[in-house]
Amino acid sequence: MRAEQRVTGVEDVGPYRLLRVERGGLQPGTPGQFFMVEAPGRLLPRPMSLCLESGGELGFLLDPVGPGTRSLAACEPGQRIRVLGPLGNGYDLSVVRPVLVGGGIGIAPLPYLSRRLGEPPAVLGFRTAWHAEAAELVPNAEVVIDPVLVTDALAELDDLEGADLLACGPEAMLRAVASLSPRAQLAWEAPMACGYGACYGCAVEIDGALRRLCVDGPVLRASRGAMRGLTPVDARPDTGVAA
């Protein structure tokens, strides 16, 4: 569904910004799905994972590092922006022993995912203590700060093999998580222009074939993507937009 929504607020969360818009008729969807959010003054919308859903609002966590995310971070309450979604495939919530894993701005979908799963344990990694302020959004989280890695903390879990890992973060982190658990669910990122498969801007190689991440993903099993060469076509550095 595409709708023009009113911005209800933008607040700082460490170096990140939490953009809140009225929910209106939009459905929050499954955690890990995404929305295409209009960036005022920019030609293309930005793909955003839903971070929070409560009180008639939808919340999107963003890192204002590029022109699109800076435009969204500068939105004022009362301003209206177009939002399309939910889109793509999210996490499979039928897990027995979930453990959430996030890195940097990749924690964006985890607060909503945590609420839907009953606030399971989480392991979150950040570059600095300032970035780690965002961990307040995720209950029951163990936080590690560079140079400690989330995989270091995961390795200390009791019965890691029995854990259902649900992760979102930088590609290197996702590949490391995949090496720990081939059944882990990983939310990947790729450039997206439309969000529903028409433009092929998010074409990636999965199992030797090019597929559209916005349609086949963004959440994939580790055995399907990370361990078999998921390589974004025309990849770009992280823009602060979660998978």
Res. 142: pLDDT tops 80: yes
* Mean pLDDT along residues 90-102: 97
pLDDT at 161: 86
Band (pLDDT 50/70/90 cuts) for residue 224 is low
Band (pLDDT 50/70/90 cuts) for residue 61 is very high
* Mean pLDDT along residues 182-194: 88
Q: Using a pLDDT cut of 70, give the percent of the chain over it.
A: 92
Which range among 21-30, 131-140, 234-243 shows the weakest confidence by mean pLDDT?
A: 234-243
Res. 40: pLDDT tops 80: yes
Peptide bond between residue 47 and the one before it cis (omega within 30 degrees of 0): no
pLDDT at 180: 92
pTM: 0.90
Fold (CATH) for 2-87: Elongation Factor Tu (Ef-tu); domain 3 (2.40.30)
